[in-house]
Structure formats: C-alpha cells, structure tokens
Structure 1
Amino acid sequence: MKRISLYILLSFFLFSCANDDNEPEIACDLIDAISSNLFIELVNAEGENLIENGTYNPNNITIDFNGNTFTGVITGVEGIQNFVTVGVSGNNGDNTFEISLSDMETDTLVLDLTRMETEGPCAQFVFQLNSAIYNGVSRELQDFGGDFLITIVKE
C-alpha cells in the first residue's frame, strides 16, 4: 500500500508541473516561407505578349534550376496572365536559371541574391534580389506589387 501511495504522490508532482513562460507555443512548420517572385514578360517589338499571341506554348515552357525542372511556370492570374514566374531563391551570389521556351530555344537568367535570416522564434531565410541578367544583358528590376518584373523584347 505504501508503494501505491508513493506512486500516486510522484504522479501528482510530475503532472502538476507547468510551463511558467506564459508564451504560446508556435508551430513554425505552419508558417509559410517568405519569398518573392520575378515575373518575366516576353514581348515582341510591338509590345505584344508572345505567350498570349501563341508564339510560345505555355505548356512547353520550363525552368531548370539546380538540377530540378519546373513546369507550370506561366501565370494565369487575372492582370498578370502569360508571364513566366521564377521563385526568387537560391544561394548567395549568382544563381543560373535555364528557361526553355521551346525545343529549339533556351534563355539564361542569372539572379544575384543575398540570403538573409529573419529574426524571431521561427527564423527563416529570405532572399534579396540584387540584379537580374537575362541572356547576358542586365535588366532593370521593376517593382511589381511586392514582387519583381522584367520585360524582355524578343525579335
């Protein structure tokens, strides 16, 4: 009987301990990564979108990065339809993306990134986009609602 009383007493002490921090636990895995996108508008000399006019088939456009091939990279959202979308991620410095527009045409995009860590209980990495070079030509980064846009005139 003494043993049972001892076990009950020990159980009481073990289960009555509480976290006095008064801070709620945060499920960091439920927080979305902070990232931005680079949108690429492909146009002809007259300013026509080359995906919209059928010059390029959106189903054939892919992006190769770090040994991975990404499909479904063309936006279908109202107002930004028919743009190539590149997620801004990688390593510090230059990151090369190969954009296959067709079986016969592949363009090269080099993004210069700075990788920074956020503060707080769920620290994450965010990427600052410093510059974009498309087919060897430095491109102006336009603010695009918190994301970025470059326009490429194809001839």
Structure 2
Amino acid sequence: MKKIFIFLVIAFVFTACGDDCYNAPQPIAFEFVNADGENLITNGTLNPFSISDENHIGVQLTKTSDDRVILENVGAYNGTKNYTFYSNLKVFDFSIQSSEFKGGCDGYQINKLTFKGVGIDVTDEKGYYKIVLE
C-alpha cells in the first residue's frame, strides 16, 4: 500500500510539472471599405473608430501595414459575446461565438461571427472580413 501511495505521489509530481500548453483563438481582422472598394483607413475617411464589448470595455485594435484592423484578445471564452463598432461613419453591432476545445493543447476557437445592422455588407475574405461602410 505504501509503495502505491509513493508511486501516485511521484506520478502526480511529474505530470503536474509538464509544460503548460494553450492555443489562443485565431485572430479576427476587418478591412473597412466604401462602395467603390477603397480602404477607408487608407484614404483617411474612417477616423476615429473603436470597438467595445457588451460591458463597455474597449477592445485593443492593431492596424496592419495594409490598413486592416486586427481585434486583439477576443474569443477566449465559452459562449457568445456582443460587441459594438463606433465610428464617424457608422455604428453597428456584431457578436462572436466561441468555445473551448481540448486536444494536445487546451484553448479556444471562434465558431461564428454574426454582424447585425442595416446597410452593412460583409464578405468573408481569405483571412479577414471586408466590411462596406456607406
């Protein structure tokens, strides 16, 4: 009995000391364009803008070299969270549904992105969402 107890303690110590492994959700990127397909950040039309979650906490945004916007630290939760985009051109709402996954590494994945609002044309491009603001 004593040997089994010692074995379990040693096994617990070695498994508890393993490397932590976490996969963050894939980033979400937006490109804001007008009806002619011109990037609104590049031409200076879209300024200022921000995104807040349902608790009115601002989302960190990173502008890329091609004037797209990456939403930082979204999707790391189970369930659906609502967000609002604010700008001088338009205000609209969207939601992100995500879930936890288990595998080689634990983490979260974004399952669905839903845009709400009138007059918003959104297309899912390769790696980003193109949003037409008029």
TM-score (norm 2): 0.68
Cα separation, partners in 2 of 1:20 and 1:65, compared to 1, 3 Å: closer
Counterpart AA for 1:132 = T
Alignment of 1:122-141 (within 5 A): 124-135=106-117, 139-141=122-124
**Aligned partners of 1:119, 1:26: CA distance in 2, in Å?**
15
**Aligned partners of 1:141, 1:99: CA distance in 2, in Å?**
17
**Aligned partners of 2:130, 2:74: CA distance in 1, in Å?**
17
1:50 is displaced (CA, Å) by 0.3
1:142 has 2:125 as partner? yes
Q: Which protein is bigger by CA-based radius of gyration? A: 1
Alignment of 1:1-155 (within 5 A): 19=10, 25-28=17-20, 31-57=21-47, 60-67=48-55, 68-71=57-60, 73-76=61-64, 78=65, 81-86=66-71, 87-89=73-75, 90-92=77-79, 94-102=80-88, 105-111=90-96, 113-120=97-104, 124-135=106-117, 139-144=122-127, 149-155=128-134
Gaps of 5+ in 1: 1-17
Cα separation, partners in 2 of 1:101 and 1:51, compared to 1, 3 Å: same
CA contact (8 A) 2:90 2:133 kept: no
TM-score (norm 1): 0.60
Q: Deviations over 1:38-76 (max 9, x none)?
A: 21111112111001100012xx321111321124x1423
SS in 2 for 1:35: coil
1:26 is displaced (CA, Å) by 2.3
Cα separation, partners in 2 of 1:109 and 1:69, compared to 1, 3 Å: same
Moved over 4 A (4+): 20-24, 136-140
Cα separation, partners in 2 of 1:106 and 1:36, compared to 1, 3 Å: same
Q: Share of identical aligned residues, percent?
A: 18
